[in-house]
A and B are shown apart, each in its own frame.
Chain A
Amino acid sequence: QEVLVESGGGLAQPEKSLTLSCAASGFTFNTYVMHWVRQTADKGLEWVAVISFDSSNTHYADSVRGRFTISRDNSKNTLFLQMDGLRPDDTAVYFCARASRIAVAGVFYWNLDVWGKGTTVAVSS
């Protein structure tokens, strides 16, 4: 069974740091692209960052670029999100998600097919 479990959420003060982890099991972690997505009642679902299977490529949302760092340890089947310079509007439930690339009629499409249950981050003084 393919499972993702996030941890590391909690309460942080503005400008402080927090690191989220996402432990993967039930699939070959080092062959999958992985994402972080966050959700608030105000903004809905917001894509945060993506990392390639071998960590050679990363991309970030404008709202977190320069403050957040996505990384992975394939030897430990774990994805990370280092969050520095936290702001109140970073308050959200953070999900990790697995990306799968599927061929349909000869064209490859990406989806997010396995999600963790999420971990809550609250940023407040």
Chain B
Amino acid sequence: DIQMTQSPSSLSASIGDRVTITCRASQSINRYLNWFQQRPGKAPKLLIYAASTLEGGAPSRFSGSGFGTEFTLTINSLQPEDFATYYCQQSYTTPYTFGRGTNLEIK
């Protein structure tokens, strides 16, 4: 199975900050990488697919980059509604493994 390693596991930031979350795959997954946002008690919500393509309706302050084994999710100018948990997931092959998540908290 492909292992997905996210870092950091938690992050404190302030409104207006820029933050970056990293996701590493244990083998090359080309650009088959999705990012999800999850708020407490809710389902995951797709933010970015194919490593860098913004899902319709997702705010433009979210961006993704990377190829192969190293990927990043960047959030520019944090808004109150962005404080949530973020997950990466590879869709290169089954099982579709997820990272353990990054909990973004208000400083």
B50 pairs with A102, CB closer than 8 A: yes
Interface residues of B in 2-31 (CB under 8 A from A): 30-31
Partner of B91, one of A59, A95, A110, A117: A110
B50 pairs with A104, CB closer than 8 A: yes
Closest chain A CB from B92 CB (angstroms): 9
Closest chain A CB from B36 CB (angstroms): 8
Contacts of A110 in B (CB 8 A): 32, 91
Residues in B lying within 8 Å of A, measured CB to CB: 1, 30-32, 34, 36, 42-46, 49-50, 53, 55, 87, 89, 91, 94-101
Contacts of B99 in A (CB 8 A): 44
Closest chain A CB from B29 CB (angstroms): 11
Interface size of A in residues (CB-CB distance below 8 Å): 23
A45 pairs with B50, CB closer than 8 A: no
Task: Identify 17 new A-B residue pairs, CB closer than 8 A, beyond the known A45-B87, A62-B95, A109-B31.
Answer: A44-B98, A45-B44, A45-B89, A47-B97, A59-B94, A62-B1, A107-B31, A109-B49, A109-B50, A110-B32, A111-B55, A112-B91, A113-B46, A113-B49, A113-B55, A115-B43, A117-B43
Contacts of A61 in B (CB 8 A): 95
Q: Counting CB contacts under 8 A, is A79 at the interface?
A: no
Give bound CA distance, A44 to B38, whole Å. Answer: 11
Q: Known contacts being A102-B50, A109-B50, is A35 close to B96, with CB within 8 Å?
A: yes
Closest chain B CB from A63 CB (angstroms): 9
Give bound CA distance, A104 to B23, whole Å. Answer: 21
A112 pairs with B89, CB closer than 8 A: yes
Contacts of B45 in A (CB 8 A): 115
Question: For chain A, what secondary structure do more than half of its interface residues adopt (helix, strand, loop), or is it mixed?
Answer: strand
Give bound CA distance, A112 to B100, whole Å. Answer: 17
Give bound CA distance, A102 to B91, whole Å. Answer: 12
Contacts of A47 in B (CB 8 A): 89, 94-98
Closest chain A CB from B91 CB (angstroms): 4
Contacts of B55 in A (CB 8 A): 111, 113
Partner of A109, one of B1, B32, B36, B42: B32
